[in-house]
Amino acid sequence: MAVRPEPIADRYELVEQISSGGMGQVWRGYDAVLDREIAVKLIRTDVIASVEAAEEFAKRFRREARVTARIQHHGVPQVYDAVLDESYDRVYLVMEYVPGTSLRAYLTPGQPLPVSWAVAVAAQICTVLSHAHAIPVVHRDLKPENVLVTETGTVKVLDFGIAAILRTDVTRLTVTGQVLGSHRYMPPEQVRGAQITPQSDLYALGCVLHELLAGKPLFDGDNAFRLMLQHVSQAPVPLRKLRADLPDEIEQLVLRLTAKAPEQRPSDAYEVYEQLLPFLPLPGAMPSTVVQPADVPDPTLLYRRPNAPRPRSEPTRLPPGSAALAQPSVPPQGSDTTAGTALRDLIDEAVAYSNDLLDDDRYTQAAEALRQVIEPATAELGRESPRVLQLRQRRAAVLVVGGDFREALPEFDALVGAFTRTRGPKSDEAMACLRQAALCRANLGQSTIALRQFREVLAQVRTAEGDASRTALELRRDIAMLLLAERDVEQAEAELVPLHEDLLVLYGPDHEETHEIGDILTRLRLAGNMAQPELPTPRDDERHSAGPERQPTTKHWPCV
């Protein structure tokens, strides 16, 4: 994979191909301006054979891009940009990148899915279709390949770009004789070339739901022509003849969805949703008792815990080699000295490219540039090679600079273990990664563990460098500020007072850091004085008998 992908329109950089289909390719990439992951759909242009066809294609492309952008629903990836070059060499949609797995991956012949799982997927598709049909937009190609299931079970409906607005001029924009859609899910009216309506999408939804529940397609002809004939004239097999445990209401709904005449199908997606509703779990319900593989997402979660917070256990997308670094050490496959010239060049190029991206504050993509080279380096040098560990530490540090503490934390935890095994538990590398892990935890609200890790690092730094080294001063400040954030004012002040005294000695009263810590202490004391009840003013004889006035413990107290 190229480390320096060629940018499109001086902005969008393609990283890896995700899929390829009849309408073109879909790539994962980066927006160089906003430093975010994107999906780029490269539309096929090889069907253009004349100027007239090119003009027709341009009209369809612009229309479809605008239509897709109008569907405002979390179940549809948002469109960010649409570009059509005059040369037609670069025709693409730039969209939201959504990690997930195609619904097709969960379909195994002869293995029906649990009713709750299938119904939850179908219900989520209904919510998307209801928003699209209200515009009105018809998908025209609804199939498992165009349905994405995320790690949390949320369903995304893809490829609305081939849809058409239901207006009188739409038919004239369609290339004569072109048939859109997949034969296995194509409604009879689409086979005949008749008017496409929202009920056409409902027919395709019925085909998908049938396949989820039966473990086999609605029709299974041996070629496209036979499949189309079956959709037009052959009655489907009722679901309960294929699966006796299904409720009669589900069977009747699928039969209505797959009726030959559009007017015999449900009136709209909302009606389908209402008929699915009794089979969806209620808010607060426990997960289904049906045993599922651990790596299969749960689409019922959206209904059991609507509008729930981000799961604490939600998987973090880690780069290749992350899990390996957390495992016990084994002899590496190679060493840095035996690395081939090609790998050394690739690493140098990746690091240089990452530095260039950092100069432009493109932190996400800078981390990605390093991620791409970690996998081949791991394969050639071994998972705990010094060079590989250095690359991973560099990438994790980039994530921290970019504020991505959630993804950086497991990286640094893994690196602490790796450096502990290879360099020793008190090595500079292990301590540096432990400090970064503590920083991540502090920013993620894991204060108790963060304080423990900061103090562990500080104890080692004090032993090696003393209490007034640059690193020790920074750690002491981090600990104090974390205590302050946790409202442990007494302990925070106990850390800040000696820190301020050391800063006065090392840097003087006018240094920026001295001022900062002094200002914090002044505010703390003012707040403490305001919280104390007002005491009576002592008489002169009492004041003199009380002894000398107590002096402040520091020599400099800046004004608030």
Which residues are catalytically annotated?
141
Q: How crowded is residue 102: how many other Cβ atoms within 10 Å of its Cβ?
A: 16
For the stretch 247-270, what's the b/e string if a residue is b when 16 or more beta carbons lie within 10 angstroms of its beta carbon?
eeebbebbbbbbbbebeebbebbe
Give the separation between CA 264 and CA 290, rounded to whole angstroms.
34
**What is the rounded distance in angstroms from the CA atom of residue 98 to the CA atom of residue 113?**
24
Token code pair at residue 338:
């035996």
Cα separation of 450 and 441, whole Å? 5
| 59-62-65-71 Cα dihedral, nearest 10 degrees | -80
The answer to whether residues 93 and 41 touch, using CB atoms and an 8 Å cutoff, is: yes
Give the residue among 103, 120, 111, 112 at the shortest CA–CA distance from 279.
120
DSSP-assigned states of every residue in 315-342: PP-PPTTHHHHTSPP---S--GGG--HH
The angle at the Cα of 221, spanning 243 to 124, to the nearest 5 degrees, equals 55
Q: Phi-psi bin for 8: left (phi > 0), alpha (psi -120 to 50), beta?
A: beta
